[in-house]
Amino acid sequence: MDLTQNECVNNGDCDNNSDFSKRSDKPRHLNMERQRSFDERSLVEASPRYTTSWAENGQRHIDLDSVFSPSKRSSFNTPRGQYGYEAHPMFAEAWESLRKTMVYFRGQPVGTIAALDNSDEKQNYDQVFVRDFIPSGLAFLMNGEPEIVKNFLLKTLRLQSWEKKIDRFQLGEGVMPASFKVLHDPVRNTETLMADFGETAIGRVAPVDSGFWWIILLRAYTKSTGDTLLAERPECQNGIRLVLALCLSEGFDTFPTLLCADGCSMIDRRMGVYGYPIEIQALFFMALRCALVLLKQDDQGKELVDRIVKRLHALSFHMRSYFWLDLKQLNDIYRYKTEEYSHTAVNKFNVIPDSLPEWVFDFMPTYGGYFLGNVGPSNMDFRWFCLGNCIAILSSLATPEQSLAIMDLIESRWEELVGDMPVKVCYPAIESHDWRIITGCDPKNTRWSYHNGGSWPVLLWLLTAACIKVGRPQIARRAIEVAELRLAKDGWPEYYDGKSGRYVGKQARKHQTWSVAGYLVAKMMLEDPSHLGMISLEEDKQMKPMVKRSSSWTF
C-alpha cells in the first residue's frame, strides 16, 4: 500500500523545507545561558540522593544536573574517550558500523537504517525506524554530532503532517510514522520519502511509541546541545500538541493509563500485550514530563500544561499503586477476596488469585520488585518487561525505592534476565496452549525467541542508563562484559534465542543498527555518566503517593 508514497510524489515535494538548508547549531557555538534556562524550566531540581549514593558506592562523585558539557565531545570518527573506552576494539568497530547505516536525504543525514543486513527483501529493515533511531541519535548526541538528530526530528515532524489512511479510515493527525525510507529516482535524479504509519506493517497497527520517543528525543537534543530554539519553533510545538492530543482526549476511560492494541510498540506483533502495556505507560509518562519542559507557556500551551500535570499525577498514582509487584503485594494478591463491590474494595480489578502463574512465586525475590506487564479488569500480566521497567526508572515514574527494588530484582534474577546475552525483552516465555491462544500460533514468536522471551542487545543502553541512575553502574558493567564476549563475533544480531540467550535468533538480522548503537550508548554513558541527563528525569517531589504499600517501598 504505497498511498503515502504516491501522496508524496503528487505533492511534488513533501520536504522542500528551507529549514534543512540551515546548518544546525554546533555544540561549540552553544550559549550556556540558554542551557541553564532550559534546566531551570525542568520540573524538579536534581535530587541530592544522587551524590550520596555515588559516594557510598565509592564511585566518582557526580552532580547529575550539570549533565552536559557538549563542547568537550569530539567529532572524530572514532571518539576519543576521556577514560579510554575506545580501547576495546568493539567500540571502534561499532562506530564504523553505525556510520555505514546513515541515511541521507538531499545531502543531509536524516537517520540510520534498521539493519545493514538486507538479505530478505520482503522485510523492511532498510527503513529508518523512529524507535530504532533513538540509540543512534543518543550516540551521535553524546559524540557532539547533533545535526543528524535535528534533521531526523524535523523530517519525521513533516511526515506527521501527512494524511494517513488505512483503507477508508483516517488515522489521528498526531500519529508519527513507525518508519520511513528515502526513494531515489535515478532517471529523474530526485529523492522522495515514503513513510509507514502502520498501514503496511504486519498486523496494521499504528506505532503508539513513535510519538513518545520523538518528544523524548527532542528533549534529549535540547538538553544535550542547549539549543532551545528548535523545540520553540511553532511546528515543533504543534507536533508535541498533536501527539498529546491523541492521548489526552476524554473518552470512556476509567483509568489514566493508555488503552492500546497489541503490537503498537517495540513488540510489534501479537504478544498478549493489548490493554495497558507497561512499555507504553512508562513512555507515555516520560513523554508527558518531557513535554512539560518543552512546551511554551503561551495561551495554547498553558491549558495543555494543566492537563498534562493532572494526568501525570493520576498516572503516577495508578502505576505506583496497581502495577507495582513485590513479595508483599504478591502475597496480598494471593490472598485476595473476589467479587468486591463499592469504594471499599481492596481487589479493585477483581483479579482472581487462581490466575496467578506458578512461575511468579519462584521468580519474586525476597528483596526486589517490578512493574507488571499489564493491569486491567480481572487481568494482571505478571511478565517482566525490560523496556517499561527501565523507562519507569529513567522517567522517575518509579519512586527511588521502587527503582532500587527493580535493580535488586535484576541482580537476584541475573541468570533469567541477563544470562548469556543482555537483556530479556520479557520474562518468561509463553508456551504450548498459551502460545497458541495468545500469539495466534506465531512461528516467529515461539518460546524463548524474538519478542517471546528473546534477548535483545539493544536493551543494554536502557539497562545501563537505569543502573547509573540508581547508583549501581557495576551491574551495567557486568552486563556489558557479557555482551562483549559475543556481540561483535556474532555480527551484531538483532536478538538471541534460548532460555539464557545462548543462540543467535532464528530469524535475527545481522548488523542490526540498534544493537550496535545500544552498545555504543551503554559504553559512553558508563564512561561518562554525565550523559545520563539527556535521557533521565529527576523525581518530582509533588508526585509522591500518599499510601505506603509494602516493605520495599518506604518513604
Residues in contact with ligand GLC by CB under 6 A are: 114, 129, 131-132, 266, 268
Q: Whole-number minimum distance, CB 517 to ligand GLC, in Å?
A: 11
Q: What are phi and psi of 108, to 5 degrees?
A: -110, 135
Identify which of residues 30 and 201 has a Cβ nearer to ligand GLC in the complex.
201
Count the Cβ atoms, other than its own, within 10 Å of residue 186: 6
* Number of helical (H) and strand (E) elements in the chain, helices listed first: 20, 15
Identify which of residues 97 and 552 has a Cβ nearer to ligand GLC in the complex.
97
Count the Cβ atoms, other than its own, within 10 Å of residue 418: 23
Identify which of residues 131 and 181 has a Cβ nearer to ligand GLC in the complex.
131
User: How buried is residue 555: exposed, middle or buried, by Cβ count under 10 Å (0-12/13-18/19+)?
Assistant: exposed
Q: Whole-number minimum distance, CB 66 to ligand GLC, in Å?
A: 34
Q: Whole-number minimum distance, CB 384 to ligand GLC, in Å?
A: 18
Task: Please tell me the distance from the alpha carbon of residue 37 to that of residue 222, in angstroms, as a whole number.
Answer: 11
> Which residue is it, cell 539527556?
534
Find all residues with CB under 8 Å of 94, minimum gap 6, and list them.
488, 492, 516, 517, 519, 520
Q: Whole-number minimum distance, CB 65 to ligand GLC, in Å?
A: 32
Identify which of residues 413 and 451 has a Cβ nearer to ligand GLC in the complex.
451
Identify which of residues 227 and 268 has a Cβ nearer to ligand GLC in the complex.
268
Residue closest to ligand GLC, measured at CB: 114
Q: Whole-number minimum distance, CB 531 to ligand GLC, in Å?
A: 23
Q: Whole-number minimum distance, CB 129 to ligand GLC, in Å?
A: 4
Q: Whole-number minimum distance, CB 357 to ligand GLC, in Å?
A: 24
Instruction: Fill in the DSSP letter of residue 102.
Output: E
C-alpha triplet 287, 290, 293: angle, nearest 5°: 150
Q: Whole-number minimum distance, CB 524 to ligand GLC, in Å?
A: 21
3-class secondary structure per residue, 223-289: HHHCCCHHHHCHHHHHHHHHHHHHHHCCCCCCCCCCCECCCCCCCCCCCCCCECEHHHHHHHHHHHH
C-alpha triplet 394, 531, 281: angle, nearest 5°: 20
Identify which of residues 15 and 268 has a Cβ nearer to ligand GLC in the complex.
268
Identify which of residues 157 and 264 has a Cβ nearer to ligand GLC in the complex.
264
Q: Where are the beta strands (DSSP E) in 39-168?
A: 102-105, 108-112, 128-129, 165-166
Find all residues with CB under 8 Å of 243, minimum gap 6, and list them.
160, 174, 176, 211, 212, 214, 215, 287, 291
User: How remote is the C-alpha of 53 from its chain's centroid?
Assistant: 25
Q: What are phi and psi of 390, to 5 degrees?
A: -65, -45
Identify which of residues 114 and 364 has a Cβ nearer to ligand GLC in the complex.
114
At 324, which helix (H) or strand (E)?
Answer: strand 324-326
Identify which of residues 20 and 519 has a Cβ nearer to ligand GLC in the complex.
519
Count the Cβ atoms, other than its own, within 10 Å of residue 31: 13
Identify which of residues 266 and 282 has a Cβ nearer to ligand GLC in the complex.
266
Of 44, 43, 50, 47, residue with least CA distance to 470: 50
Identify which of residues 132 and 538 has a Cβ nearer to ligand GLC in the complex.
132
Q: Whole-number minimum distance, CB 410 to ligand GLC, in Å?
A: 22
Q: Whole-number minimum distance, CB 368 to ligand GLC, in Å?
A: 27
Task: Please tell me the distance from the alpha carbon of residue 328 to that of residue 55, in angstroms, as a whole number.
Answer: 31
Q: Whole-number minimum distance, CB 114 to ligand GLC, in Å?
A: 4
Q: Whole-number minimum distance, CB 431 to ligand GLC, in Å?
A: 20
Identify which of residues 122 and 343 has a Cβ nearer to ligand GLC in the complex.
122
